[in-house]
Structure 1
Amino acid sequence: MEGAGTVRALSDYDALLVKLEAAQETEVVELALAAARERLGMDASYITTIDSRIQTIHALVGDPDTVSRYQGTVFPVEQTYCMRMLGGEIPSAVPDTRAEPAISELPVTAEFHAYVGVPVKLSNGSVHGTLCCVSRETRPGIGPDEVRFMQVLADIVGARVDRVHGDIARLTARLRPS
């Protein structure tokens, strides 16, 4: 009897640890997004994941209208700035999206006129997603300094995601029947 209670307590404890780690990841992401938006003076900042077909906005900081319209949104990759940035079709900093041939015709360009995006990479070199900022106005001054700042934030987010994934993998291994 005592052994069963101990196993249950460990399982509850492990589940609590997983929730705590996820909350800590969320906190790091939200701080990074707020820092990016404030430092770059953009209307919104966001974190995405991307696969071969879709891009999902997982976290977004911005004005309430933008957050309510785009939080959790899924887009076909061919309609995104991020996939083009990852593919090298556009630079990480686009001061005027309407003047960039590779994205000027995208529907999102009608609303957002400046973009800064960088990959969020994991320690194994894989791309987890992107960290991005957009503005409804052009931003002629954005360039390499803003990209470097964003990359530092993306590296912090990537390291945090790595840690959470590692913690979850260790907990999962401990919980597997022998």
Structure 2
Amino acid sequence: MPQSLDGFLDIRAMLRLVRQNLGLDVAFIGEFVGDQRVFRHVDADAPNTLVEGTGDHLDTTYCGRVADGRLPELIPDTAAFPEAQRLAVTRTLPVGSHLSVPIRLSNGMVYGTFCCFGHAPDHSLNERDLAVMRTFAGLVAQRIDRDLQAESLLAAKRGRIRRLLDDGGPAIVFQPIFLLDGLAPVGAEALSRFPSDPYRPVETWFSDAAEVGLQIELEHRAIANALAAYAPVWSRHRVQIGINASPAAILAPGFMDLLSGSPADRIVLEITEHERIDDYGPLLAALALLRDRGVRIAIDDVGAGYSSMSRVVAIRPDIIKLDREIVRGLDGDPMRQALARALVDFAARCGCKVVAEGVETPGELEILSELEVQALQGYLLGRPAGVDALERVLGQGARRIDAMADAG
């Protein structure tokens, strides 16, 4: 369907267009639900007794009798049809003239009917008018098809995420973070992992969750799983953990409780960019409470766009995380280097630490060393892995730090 027509053809607008073109009093879409005809959309110039969402037994309706062939689709004068006169609605509404055509979906199923009627007979109604009704019924069917497909996709997304949550997911892996000075490990970022059959990017899981109203539950579960998995690490290493949370998840009830029982001074809350923030007041108040407990605040993906910089200015984080798109190919791109240098200088002037994400090559590491960022993470230094693998990295780092202290 052409985009201009598609944008215009709202179902209610179609009803009004057809009704006014035919000069009739009422138009509606009737859906067949079991043995009921249910009003889904109603358009009329004057108040009427047809209420959207109400139903009647099909056998008592024009829709039902047109669908089973007992009444024709075109009735200029109901008085000429004994079958119409036997229906109570002919007198109670009243119905003097009537047109009704089936709405047939792409799978062949009859969804219901597209109907128009007048309170008085109208002998000017003809086969051309019926053809117009059929055309618009086809367009309505296309729109309903798309709506049903969208509902089906949403149901599939909701079911997929619900099953994950019911099974205790998501799983958590940890990517180590290293100080630039001596490449000593200082902690890790907790990252969610999801079933791979079928594969969907992590971002898609969270965006799908937001679409079906499960974003908060999914984010809170990921944080709870991360902190629970990290608890044994804290018993042996004084290191930090970075946990990701959107502003909506931070402001939702129960967020503060998620952090209780964990050492707040070893938590870095990385604020992700999932939605626009129109009012920073509530978020800043929540972050102030977290800071009072000792939690440090980071802004993720800094440099990815204007919005991330506006968040830095509004939130004034303790840490900014340099976006991996800036780090990628940094050693061979003077413009990236200039941008990275500006952000590092900006952070220094604001009293922020800088963590560079996505470090994958020795060349990138060399430039970041020259820029004097405070910390790094990326595949070159350590891939995301389970907590046992992280503990091995932390153990090696502790031995390295001890050796450096002995040498000093």
TM-score scaled by length of structure 1: 0.79
Specify the alignment match of 2:29 in structure 1.
Answer: 47
Q: What are the superposed Cα offsets for residues 56-107 of structure 1, whole Å, 9 maximum, x if unpaired?
A: 11111113321xx212231121211111111111111101112112111211
Q: Does 1:104 align with 2:65?
A: no
Q: Secondary structure at the match of 1:56?
A: strand
Question: After superposition, what is the alpha-carbon deviation per residue over 1:126-159, rounded to whole angstroms, capped at 9, x for unaligned?
Answer: 0111110010110112121111101111111110
Counterparts of 2:153 and 2:86, CA distance in 1: 46
After TM superposition, the structure 1 stretch with the greater mean CA deviation from structure 2, 53-62 or 162-171, is 162-171
Q: Which residue of 2 aligns with 1:81?
A: 62
Partner of 2:118: 135
Amino acid in structure 2 at the alignment position of 1:129:
G
The range that moved more, 167-176 or 70-79, is 167-176
TM-align CA RMSD: 1.9
Larger Rg: 2
Correspondence for 2:76 among 80, 95, 106: 95
Counterpart residue type for residue 133 of structure 2: M
Does the 8 A contact of 1:98 with 1:109 survive in 2? no
Q: CA offset at residue 30 of structure 1?
A: 0.3
1:19-63 CA distances to partner (integer Å, 9 max, x unpaired)?
xxxxx99x7210110011111110010001123421111111113
User: Is the partner of 2:69 in helix, strand or coil?
Assistant: coil
Q: 1:172 to 1:51 in 2, by over 3 A?
A: closer
Report if aligned partners of 1:49, 1:128 keep a CA contact under 8 Å in 2.
Answer: yes
Q: 1:70 aligns with which of 33, 50, 53?
A: 50
> Partner of 2:82: helix, strand, or coil?
coil
Alignment partner, residue 38 of structure 1? 20
> Which ranges in structure 1 are unaligned for 5 or more consecutive residues?
1-23
Equivalent residue letter for 1:174: K
Supply the distance in 2 between the matched residues of 1:137 and 1:147 (Cα, whole angstroms). Answer: 18
* Aligned residues between the structures: 152
Q: Which amino acid aligns with 2:69?
A: G
Provide TM-score, normalisation by structure 2. Answer: 0.36
After superposing on structure 2, the runs of 4+ consecutive aligned residues of structure 1 that deviate more than 3 Å are none
Cα distance in 2, alignment partners of residues 172 and 51 from structure 1: 20
Amino acid at match of 1:58: R
Could you tell me which amino acid in structure 1 is paired with residue 150 of structure 2?
D
In the alignment, structure 1 residue 161 sits paired with structure 2 residue 141:
no
Partner SS, residue 37 of structure 2: strand
Bigger RCO (CA 8 Å, 6+ sep): 1
Confirm whether residue 125 of structure 1 aligns to residue 105 of structure 2: no
Structure 1 Cα separation of the partners of residues 45 and 124 of structure 2 = 22
Contact 1:120 1:128 survives alignment (8 Å): yes
Letter of the aligned partner of 2:50 in structure 1?
A: Y
SS at structure 1 position matched to 2:157 = helix
Partner residue, 1:17: none
Flag the 1:168–1:150 CA change in 2: closer, same or farther, 3 A.
Answer: same
CA distance in 2, matches of 1:62, 1:150: 17
Aligned to 2:341: none
Q: Which moved more, 1:57-66 or 1:154-163?
A: 57-66
